[in-house]
Amino acid sequence: MSTRGRNIERRWRMQARVLAVLISGTVVLVGAGIASAAPSSHGPSVPANFPKDKAALMQGQLDEAANRKVPKKPTVDEGRAMAAAGAGQVETFARTVGITEGMAQSPFPHSQFQVSNFYHGPAGGLWMLVYAGTALDASGATQGSLRVLSESDTGSITPIGAYDAPKPCTTLRITGYSGTILTLVTESGAKIAFDIAKLTYV
């Protein structure tokens, strides 16, 4: 074979090698693109053009969300059973014995009874609320008085009665308590006692 023929054969072999490398690289790139574009077996996948450092983190979050178990909705029978199980349970709240000064909102119409302060505590197996203050009649006349209510374990209020001071006075205020006996004072400083258990002045 002449020198010119050997050169032509050498160039042909070199071109064949380059073409083979190019074809191999194309196959690898195409394969990689298909693999990265393929959806995760656990659910949605990250786009192929997403940065690698963020892709792994996001794919983990997507897989975790896809695998998260959704709480099963109870059947009608299961719902009835759950309701029956909780039917006997009563929500209660903490209570403290004491006297509260100042009220953001009185439970009584201001035109009928103006609250000075109130006592909250037990008496006769009930939780009692005793409001001291001033009662007003239709003519505007005032009289020191008490309003007594009871409160159930669930917060339900029951009115018990209204108790005007045994002597004429404008208003009453609770200053202390001992057991079921409340100590009251009028606007003039006179002291009066009221028994919550017996619902009478003593």
User: Could you tell me if residue 84 is inside a domain?
Assistant: no
Q: Within its chain, how far is the Cα of 158 from the centroid?
A: 28
Domain end call among 22, 51, 67: 67
CA distances from 145 to 92, 177, 201 (A): 31, 17, 11
| Domain end marker among 28, 52, 67 | 67
170-193 pLDDT per residue, tens: 999 999 999 999 999 999 999 999
Q: Are residues 121 and 33 in the same domain?
A: no
> Is 88 a member of any domain?
no
Is there a single domain that holds both residue 176 and residue 112? yes
Q: Cα-flanking dihedrals φ and ψ of residue 194, to 5°? A: -135, 130
Question: Domain span at residue 28?
Answer: 3-67
* Whether 113 and 192 share a structural domain: yes
Last residue of a domain, one of 67, 83, 109: 67
Residues 126, 183 within the same domain: yes
Show the tokens assigned to 179. Answer: 């057991």
Cβ atoms 132, 118 nearer than 8 A:
yes
pLDDT at 78: 76
Q: How far, in Å, are 12, 122, 129, 151, 179 from residue 98 at the CA level?
A: 106, 10, 10, 15, 11
* Residue 102, pLDDT score: 77
Write down the pLDDT at residue 60: 72
Question: Could you tell me if 38 and 114 lie in one domain?
Answer: no
pLDDT (0 to 100) of residue 144: 97
What pLDDT shows up at residue 36?
A: 46
Q: Are 26 and 118 part of one and the same domain? A: no
Q: Are residues 120 and 41 in the same domain?
A: no
**Residue stretches of the chain with pLDDT short of 50:** 4, 12, 18-23, 25-40, 42
User: In terms of domains, do 56 and 109 share one?
Assistant: no
In a domain? residue 89: no
Strands 113-123 and 98-101: antiparallel
Which amino acid belongs to residue 152? S
pTM for this predicted structure: 0.55
